[in-house]
Structure 1
Amino acid sequence: MYDSLLIFLISTKDKRRHLTALKCLNPKMSHKLPKAGTPIPKAVVKDQFEFGPWTCTSFKSHILKSEGQERDEYEAQLSLPHLPEMVFDKNRLHIEHQNGFGLEFNALDALKLVRDDQADLKVAEADEWLAARVDSDHAKNIFRPYDWTFTTDYKGTPLSRGGIQLGVSDTNERINIEKLKKGGKIQFYAEMVLFEDELHDSGTSMLKVQIRVMPDYFFILQRFFMRVDKVLVRINDTRVYHEAGTDYILREYTSKQNRVEDLKVPPEYITDPNLLSDHMTKTKEKFEKLTFPTTNPTLKPVASNSRISCTPVSAGSAT
């Protein structure tokens, strides 16, 4: 969001630093700008927690710069002609077993799964969408030869150190939702946005991920939420669950989609995926068991002092 500043003038009058001028390139994003005096972060903030043989690590930083070598190198790894307005390229959720296998969630790998050919939404919904915006000159120009909604079915990136990797197979087992609903002491929690776009001021597209570690399990929810105003809503969820004492992880992927006109819900539901999800139609689902390699050791108990405080590290050292 800091790259959206056009003018950021600092005065030292009366020996006080204060904001004297501020203009946002996109006025609709002005609510996301920092308050006067807010320091611009130059480091990745790392937060880490040990859960038995697992290390759960979150990395958080500012958005990818709008230009420069870092931006060019990032774009070169993708086949998309355009990136979301806000890409948090250094935000990552990383869970790794002491034997070197695990999962990671990051923006780059998620964007690699965005279609770089014609978007299905153009074929199915473009005429209706354009008809609702006959007075919008830019609306006719937003359809490009790629999925401009940035829809991704990303389910995480497998980690492999020393050639050791989780096995993946279909399963009939399901995540114990009732257990997730029970209260308890949260040992560790992290949440981060991986990318976000306002779809040319005509909706939203966001990918975010969160982790909750309880005394006897960890649970990850990654959610992609897309809304094209007055036309379509879509939610792609990836849920990852591991219970202490077991030698596997359960991963569930679901995709839901509805035309807005078909949803008989209060208007505020359309903009809130948490309220909307239960009212949507499921179009796809996949259930997987991620099994540990046979070399996995016995689970260690969770240490009471296993939390590591947030520590700022440079972007280059956050590996």
Structure 2
Amino acid sequence: MMSHGFKSSKQDFTFGPWKVTAAKTHIMKSKDIERLAEEMNMPALPEMLFGDNVLHIKHTDGFGIEFNAIDALKRVNNMQDSVKVACAQEWQESRADSEHSKEVVKHYDWTYTTDYRGTLLGEDLKIEVMPTTERIDMEKLKAREQIMFFEDVLLFEDELHDHGVSMISVKIRVMPTSFFVLLRFFLRVDGVLIRINDTRLYHEASWKELYAERVHNSREQNFSTQGNDHRISFTSHVPPAIYTDPNEISQHLPLKLTECEKLEFPETSSQSGCTDNPQ
């Protein structure tokens, strides 16, 4: 398991009318996890659940978006799903010698797969989400630009009985005229599947909207199971060493879903000077 320090921290950064807050603290206590599992009707929750970790991005007018572990878990399917059960059974068969192998096939998604894309903030004023054909200019983001603020917030992680990993984290980087957020769910079940669900958000200072892309990549078939070799059979040029690196392996996973959205900000007097067109 990854080593995580438990020193609490809270970092604030102001970007124009936006206040960014990244809070990181201890794993939830077992009694709180048990109570939450009961409330969510799930037999188990991730081993490392950071219930108080949050990335909070709020406009002075009160609207915004945040990312937290509890809302991410609410997007986990807590009932059996035929695809997930099939994966669980294959995983169980490939690990028949494991004392824990039978524990994973339960009436919930034991991989904690979530399609969470953030929690909208605001009482009277709220961001409106609508589909768009606009894409985030990833090449523009590759340009070397001063990073004024950066944080990486882990929301939860589970080792799946030492046979993989399931985790979700959110990163933000703020540049002089823009900010970029990457929310990433990464799942690796050894010999069975690799799945990455990404949500990317991008905003420039003069815009009246955030642009969002949901990109789901996964490899859930074509596996090599000869003898005790349960490695995933990618093309020959993909070394198994990168299976554990989400940044590297994501480039080799088949694309399952892409959704682009525009998160339009509500009209307020403080935005009267903004331009209508992000271009």
Amino-acid identity (%): 48
1:247 paired with 2:220, answer no
Which of 25, 30, 50 is equivalent to 1:66? 30
Q: Which has the higher strand share?
A: 1
Contact persistence 1:79–1:112 (CA under 8 A): no
1:95 maps to a residue whose letter is I
Partner Cα separation in structure 1 for residue 3 and residue 81 of structure 2: 29
Who is 1:176 aligned against?
137
Matched, 1:284 2:246: no
Kept after mapping to 1: 8 A contact 2:88/2:104 = no
Whole-angstrom CA distance in 2 between matches of 1:59 and 1:170: 31
Residues 167/296 of structure 1: CA separation in 2 closer, same or farther (3 Å cut): farther
Are residue 55 (structure 1) and residue 19 (structure 2) matched?
A: yes
Secondary structure of 1:179's partner? helix
**Other-structure match for 1:21:** none
The residue matched to 2:243 in structure 1 has which SS? helix
Structure 1 residues 131-182: Cα deviation after superposition (integer angstroms, max 9, x where no partner): 3222223202321100000000000000014x10001110011111111000
Coordinate RMSD, CA, aligned: 2.0
Distance 2:42 2:91 in 1: 23
Look at both structures and tell me which one has the larger radius of gyration over its CA atoms: 1
Q: What's the counterpart of residue 97 of structure 1? A: 59
* TM-score of the two chains, using structure 2 as the length reference: 0.88
Which has the bigger relative contact order, CA under 8 A and spacing at least 6?
A: 1
Pairs aligned (count): 262
Change in 2 beyond 3 A, CA 1:290/1:74: same
Asked whether the 8 Å contact 2:76–2:113 carries over to 1, the reply is yes
Q: Which residue of 1 aligns with 2:229?
A: none
Aligned ranges for residues 91-170 of structure 1 at < 5 Å?
A: 91-161=53-123, 163-170=124-131
Mapped partners of 2:271, 2:259: distance in 1: 29
1:193 corresponds to which residue? Answer: 154
CA distance in 2, matches of 1:200, 1:156: 28
- Rounded Cα–Cα distance in structure 1 between residues aligned with 2:129 and 2:22: 24
Match for 2:108: what amino acid? Y
Task: Tell me how far apart the structure 2 counterparts of residues 255 and 229 of structure 1 sit (CA, whole Å).
Answer: 19
Is there any run of 5+ residues in structure 1 with no aligned partner, and where? 1-28, 35-39, 301-319
Given that 1:245 and 1:299 are in contact with CA atoms closer than 8 Å, whether structure 2 keeps it comes out as no
Q: CA offsets per residue over residues 8-47 of structure 1, 9 Å max, x none?
A: xxxxxxxxxxxxxxxxxxxxx4x7376xxxxx64xx4210
Structure 2 segments unaligned to the other structure (5+ residues): 224-231, 274-279
